[in-house]
Amino acid sequence: MWDYTDKVKEHFINPRNVGEIEDADGVGEVGSIACGDALKLTIKVKDGRIVDARFKTFGCGSAIASASALTEMIKGMTIEEAKKITNRDIVDYLGGLPRQKMHCSVMGAEALQAAIADYLGEKAETASDEGEVVCVCFGVTDKEIEKVVRQNRLKEVEDVTNYTKAGGACGSCIPQIEAILNRIWSEETPPPSKPKRPRTFLEKVKLVERVLEEEIRPVLAGDGGDIELVDIEGDVVKVKLLRNCASCPVSTFTLNDFVGEKLREFVDENIRVVEVDS
Ligand code: FES
């Protein structure tokens, strides 16, 4: 069963700003009922600042919570500030979303960008407007996949499905999704290679921090969790799990099979990760 944060539950049970602004300055519509999710966002702008925002959605509890959170976030923002909102900001505002529901936050961010583009009289630059359709079942383009992969540092096809739905039905697009992932990550600088001499303690600490920051925290944040490095003794890395991870019943799995594997891959194959209280 999926684990929802209290904030997600609260926004689902008591959604803010439901409805539609009749004389809206900007309208953003994304998704389609045929694909299972649709969102219409309307905004009112005064002196370059969003003074009202309302939404209507056809979707699950996470879609409702994401849209509700989005309206709360953007009210009072300037258009320039709102332009910078990404799906990651919506997820952070809600304290996390189940990985399988990340596409709801993506839909919110796309509706916002579409509403802003409409207000500015521009063509919406949503990724789905450009590129070639990769997933016919859900109408997802290569540009859309590339955008969420880069923004959220996704590495697996399953993650792409969670964020865009692509690949979640017939699966015939999976080879193309894999090709996009391979292309994007092969362009990146390779992970830090092992130096010929043994690392100093300080180098090891810095590298562990870097792997935590780049490879581990973004994934844990997706579930509303976090991790803190407490100490390193030899090959033993002591960490503290925070937020949702602290109370997660599968935290042992998270430590050994995810955190441990990443640190062994990028830092040292002998690393062992243990959880400590402080
Ligand atoms: S084409 Fe992508 S799931 Fe069917």
CATH class of the region 201-275: alpha beta
Report which ligand 1 atom has the smallest distance to the Cα of 174: 2
Q: Give distance in angstroms: CA of 142 to centre of ligand 1.
A: 13
* pLDDT of amino acid 216: 87
Please name the residue whose Cα sits nearest to atom 1 of ligand 1: 135
Give residue ranges with CB within 6 A of ligand 1.
Answer: 135-137, 166-173
Report which ligand 1 atom has the smallest distance to the Cα of 136: 1
Question: pLDDT for 205-236, tens place per residue?
Answer: 999 999 998 888 888 887 788 889 999 998 89
Ranges in the chain, pLDDT < 50: none
Report which ligand 1 atom has the smallest distance to the Cα of 170: 4
8 Å CB contact between 166 and 177: yes
Instruction: Assign a CATH topology to domain 131-187.
Output: Arc Repressor Mutant, subunit A (1.10.10)
Question: pLDDT for 142-161, tens place per residue?
Answer: 999 998 999 888 999 999 99
CA–CA separation, 255 and 248 (whole Å): 11
| Global model pTM greater than 0.75 | no
Residue 104 bears catalytic tag:
yes
Domain extent listing, the chain: 6-125, 131-187, 201-275
* pLDDT of amino acid 3: 81
Instruction: Note the CATH number of domain 6-125.
Output: 3.90.1010.10
* pLDDT of amino acid 78: 96
Sign of CA dihedral 221, 226, 231, 233: negative
Q: Give distance in angstroms: CA of 168 to centre of ligand 1.
A: 6
Residue 245 bears catalytic tag:
no
Q: Give distance in angstroms: CA of 171 to centre of ligand 1.
A: 5
Domains 6-125 and 131-187 share a fold: no
